[in-house]
Amino acid sequence: MAASKSSNQLAQNWMGSYPSDVDWNAPLPASTLPDMFDEAVSAFGPQPLTDFLGKKLSFSELGAATSQLAAGLQKAGIKKGSKIGLFLPNCPYYISCYFAALKLGAIVINFNPLYTEEEIEYQARDAGIELMVTLDLKLLFDKMVTVAKSGAVDRVMVCPFPDLLPTIKKFLFKIAKGKELASVDDAGLGDRLVHYDTLVANDGTFTPAELDAETDIALFQYTGGTTGVPKGAMLTHANLAINCEQIRLWSTGIEIGNERIMAILPFFHVFAMTCIMNTAIKCGFEIIIMPRFDLDQAVKIIKSAKPTLLPGVPTLYTALMNHKDLDAGGLSSLKYCMSGGAPLPLEVRRKFEALAGCGLIEGYGLSETSPVATANPYNGLEKENSIGQPLPGTYISIRSLDDPAAEMKVNENGEICIAGPQVMNGYWNKPKETAETFSGEYFRTGDVGYMDEDGFIYIVDRIKDMINCSGFKVYPRRIEDAIYAHPAVDEVTVIGVPDDYRGETPKAFIKLKPGQTATEEDIRKTIEPKLAKIELPEYIEFRDELPKTMVGKLSKKELRQSEPSN
């Protein structure tokens, strides 16, 4: 039987070197997300909550809009257990729809706006979506028409995009970009079409659902699409609300009610949903919202809106460093940047911190952990290449790759496993997969790593990404880190490709920085002193661009598919 949290032998390591200004044993009371939202509206009422393309809305204004929407949805039949899909880019509607649904006890399901109709239909049917929320932009609404007519969703609620804009921009949008708006009423959806404006035409009176924070599900967060059929991680209200409290306790360098956080990452992704949207609401921050990622626009907003906090993925920081119009002065407002979603190369961290003059703090988590499980301290001991120590109330156990019930010792590689109040209840309608991904109380992450004597955790690689070379385990991340040391390298991804002699062999895909040159020989001279012979990539391919996910993570999936024998 797997070891319990109380028998975790590694816990003494982080307990002995934990940041002095953070209490690992701090109380973490279970709360619902609606309670968290209402408390923030009460505490920060007149302060701005959102800045969307120049139009600001206060906590009170979004609180009122959320109550009106909840009242309208309740009248339309939405109740506890209803499944509400959000097919939205970053915008204030996302916040009001998210919390209105949760106030009624409905379950929220996020959808990537770039999904194809087929991907939307699969997830909608799997989750049992009753109402899908989207905008009246043709790019989004036309997909919803197809999905609705397929029978995958019962009803579609449409929110008017122009109403999000300041008065002048709204007027100009309708003149210059009116063709981007869909003819909603002519789509043939009949009474399956629901208008946002109609729903919110009320006084905001409704009956909130009775919720148990620890057992009632708030969200199905779908994950695993790159490795198989997507699975809906069932996250409770307590999972998500407590993770916000864990982040607040850990973030000793921030000032409650007085930060401006940049939302470049999409809210539909668990990283942005928790670390930007929910945490900002809890802590009284203003959210500077970008509807979609555009590097030039992001640079302009950073320089003009002057955010103090900037969460992102490693490729974002690389892109910002290489932008011709951004220097240290343009980043001077930043107090902290938080990196997640993918491993942060050491060279990227060092160079960005030197340019911005602020800390770039790496954290780690997964959809199944709400998501944050570990982070590097804001103050105190720092260790390069580490994903930090466990957040308050979080246990990390390094388990044997051969026996998930056996705990490894300090500095020994194994599977990173997580237990804590932010860990999901399981996968929706997938009991077999749920059972396989837990070892006792611990969630098995699929990541290989180790813990040092001070309780700092290091990721070696994903188990699924390991390359089997003649029976030896080769970790792509080691090769990638070595290649990043070459000054001309902008981005790199390493995968395993078939090899007649070794079974598999590493292949590196490299994107160079603008205006820089490097040959395969140059790269090999850089990495040969850093890697064992078996780790040296057999093939090196230079590309103008490397594939990325919607969040901006480098994606190995497309590269594997592009290899003839894979």
Q: For every one of its 566 residues, what pLDDT tens digit does the chain have, with 9 covering 90 and above?
A: 344 676 787 777 899 999 999 999 999 999 999 999 999 999 999 999 999 999 999 999 999 999 999 999 999 999 999 999 999 999 999 999 999 999 999 999 999 998 889 989 999 999 999 999 999 999 999 999 999 999 999 999 999 999 999 999 999 998 999 899 999 999 999 999 999 999 999 999 999 999 999 999 999 999 864 345 789 999 999 999 999 999 999 999 999 999 999 999 999 999 999 999 999 999 999 999 999 999 999 999 999 999 999 999 888 999 999 898 988 889 999 999 999 988 888 888 999 999 999 999 999 999 999 999 999 999 889 899 999 999 999 999 999 999 999 999 999 999 999 999 999 999 999 999 999 999 999 999 999 999 999 999 999 988 888 898 877 778 899 999 999 999 999 999 999 999 877 788 999 999 999 999 999 999 999 999 999 888 999 999 999 999 998 788 899 988 988 887 65
Q: How does DSSP classify residue 264?
A: -
Contact present, 113 and 268 (Cβ < 8 Å): yes
> Tokens standing for 329?
């002065």
Q: Regarding beta strands 193-195 and 155-159, do their DSSP bridges make them parallel or antiparallel, or are they unpaired? A: parallel
The number of CA neighbours under 13 Å toward the Cβ of 497 is 18
Whole-angstrom Cα Rg for the chain: 24
Give 482's Cβ-side CA count (13 Å radius): 21
Match 């009460």 to its residue by tokens: 42
Q: How far apart are the first and last CA of the chain?
A: 38
Q: What is the pLDDT of residue 167?
A: 93
Do 265 and 317 form a contact (C-beta atoms < 8 A)?
Answer: no
Tokens linked to 123: 């997830």
Measured in residues, the chain has a length of: 566
SS (H, E, C) 180-199: HECCHHHCCCHHHEEEHHHH
The predicted structure's pLDDT at residue 228? 59
Q: Where are the beta strands (DSSP E) in 183-247?
A: 193-195, 217-223, 231-236
Q: CATH topology for 57-210?
A: Rossmann fold (3.40.50)
The alpha carbon torsion through 86, 91, 97, 100 (nearest 10 deg) reads 150
535 vs 439: CA distance, rounded Å: 31
Q: Which run of H or of E encompasses 122?
A: helix 117-127
Same fold, 5-29+223-462 and 57-210: yes
Residue found by looking up tokens 């008017």 in the block: 160
| CATH number 3.90.1150.10 given to 5-29+223-462 | no
Q: Is 249 helix (H, G, I), strand (E, B) or coil?
A: helix
Q: State the virtual CA torsion across 303, 304, 309, 313 in degrees, nearest 10.
A: -50
CATH superfamily of 466-562: ANL, C-terminal domain (3.30.300.30)
Q: Where are the domains of the chain?
A: 5-29+223-462, 57-210, 466-562
Q: Tokens 């969703």 belong to which residue? A: 153
The predicted structure's pLDDT at residue 444:
96
User: pTM score > 0.85 for this model?
Assistant: yes
